[in-house]
Amino acid sequence: QADYEHCSIGSILVPSAFGEKGDKEAKMRFLSQLGAHLQKVRNKKRDFILCGGWELAWQPRDAEESGNRLDIPGFSAEERDWLGSVYQAGYCDAFRELDSDIDDFTWWPEGDESPGLRTDTHIISSSLAPCVTDACIDPEDAFSSHAPVIIEYDIEL
C-alpha cells in the first residue's frame, strides 16, 4: 500500500477457492477481514484504490454464459453478496465506470477455451469515479493466466 495525502493505493490477491474443500471458508474469512479494513478506511475519509485479483465475479455479465454457474468458486451467491456489500459501503468498480461490455474477461480457469470470468479489477472509493478517464483489459499482454486491467485516473497525488 502506498499512502499519499488524501489517497491510498494498494494491490491485492484474494485467496482462490479452487482446490481443497476448506478453501472457500478460508477465502470468506479473508474477505470478512478485508471488509472490516475497507470500512475502517472509509471512516478515515480518505480515498482508496485497490487493484488486483479479487477471485470474484460480481454480476452475470462478468462471467461467460457457460461460466455463469453458482457452483464456480468466485461466483457463489455468498461471494457476490460480499462484493455487493463493498459497493454499497461506498466503493465502486473502476472498470465498470467506463466499460459495460458483457464480453470483457480477465481469467479463464481452465485455459483459453474455458468460460471467462472478470475477476480482476480496481475497486475504488466512489468519490474517485469521476477521475477514471480510461479503462481496458489487454488479454494479449497477459503476464500470467490473468489479463491485465489498465485504468487511467486523473488525480493529483
> Cα dihedral sign for 53, 58, 63, 68?
positive
CA end-to-end distance (rounded Å), the chain: 14
| CATH code, 25 | 3.60.10.10
Which letter does DSSP use for residue 42 in this model?
H
Per-residue pLDDT tens over the stretch 101-144:
777 888 877 666 677 888 899 999 999 999 999 999 988 876 77
8 A C-beta contact, residue 109 and residue 18: yes
Q: What percent of the chain has pLDDT over 70?
A: 90
- Establish how many alpha carbons lie within 13 A of residue 110's alpha carbon, considering only the half-sphere containing its beta carbon: 8
Domain span at 39: 2-153
CA 21 to chain centre: 23
Instruction: State the total domains in the chain.
Output: 1
pLDDT confidence of residue 3: 92
pLDDT confidence of residue 86: 95
Q: How do 91-93 and 47-53 pair as beta strands?
A: unpaired
What single-letter amino acid sits at 142? A
pLDDT confidence of residue 68: 63
CA distances (Å), 92 to each of 28, 95, 101, 125, in order?
Answer: 20, 9, 16, 6
Give the pTM.
0.88
Per-residue pLDDT tens over the stretch 24-38:
889 999 999 999 999
> Cα dihedral sign for 59, 63, 64, 70?
negative
